[in-house]
């Protein structure tokens, strides 16, 4: 007899600078290839939730992942294959269903700042790229109570040849 499946974990994935910057306009404020590779590895095959502005800045559905866009804009033109939800709660419901359908253990929240702030109370895991620098930006990761989280993995600091900043890859689990 098989054991019942566990409920998928809500995981937040973000690259966050020392000054909490995560964006500048509709772009990332850095070029760090290792972070993009890690993002792809973490999110591959899983449902990813994002706000409409984050989706617009990416400009397309990411391959190998179920994309769920959170927007209250009823006129949002949904590309084929993209799911739409009017709220984070509705997106999490769709994401949980997709995670179960796909047989994966995570629903991944990938931005932006407002969505991160809303998702933080429900998240069980943070997978952060800590960017060792303080670039200019106008979009910030929400402050959170670090005492509520336990670090479970750390890699780095490291800096690729073409990377603008050194980074550490750090995973946290809610206590």
Cis-peptide into 163, omega within 30 deg: no
| pLDDT of 20 above 70 | yes
Tell me the CATH number for domain 9-174: 3.40.430.10
pLDDT tens digits along 29-78: 999 999 999 999 999 999 999 999 999 999 889 999 999 999 999 888 87
> What pLDDT, in 10s, does the model give residues 152-174?
999 999 999 999 999 999 999 99
| Beta strand ranges found along the chain (DSSP E) | 9-17, 21-23, 47-51, 66-70, 83-85, 106-109, 125-132, 139-140, 149-158, 166-174
Give residue 5's pLDDT band: very low, low, confident or very high (50, 70, 90): low
Gap between the Cα atoms of 48 and 10, Å rounded: 10
Has residue 80 got a pLDDT over 90? no
Residue 95 has pLDDT above 50, yes or no: yes
Q: What is the pLDDT of residue 78?
A: 78
Give CA–CA dist 143/166, Å, rounded: 22
Q: What is the pLDDT of residues 110-154, one digit of tens each?
A: 999 999 999 999 999 999 999 999 999 999 999 999 999 999 999
pTM of the shown model: 0.94
């Amino acid at each position: 007899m098989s054991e019942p499946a566990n409920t998928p974990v809500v995981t937040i994935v973000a690259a966050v600078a020392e000054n909490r910057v995560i964006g500048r306009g509709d772009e990332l404020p850095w070029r760090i290839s290792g972070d993009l590779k890690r993002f792809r590895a973490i999110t591959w095959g899983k449902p990813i939730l994002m706000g409409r502005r984050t989706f617009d800045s990416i400009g397309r559905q990411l391959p190998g992942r179920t994309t769920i866009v959170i927007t209250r804009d009823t006129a949002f033109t949904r590309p084929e294959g993209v799911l739409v939800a009017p709220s984070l709660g509705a997106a999490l419901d769709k994401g949980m269903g997709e995670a179960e359908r796909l047989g994966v253990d995570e629903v991944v929240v990938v931005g932006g700042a407002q969505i991160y702030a809303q998702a933080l109370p429900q998240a069980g895991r943070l997978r952060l790229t800590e960017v060792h620098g303080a670039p200019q930006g106008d979009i910030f990761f929400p402050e959170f109570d670090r005492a509520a989280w336990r670090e479970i993995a750390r890699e780095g600091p490291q800096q690729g040849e073409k990377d603008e900043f050194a980074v550490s890859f750090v995973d946290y689990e809610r206590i």
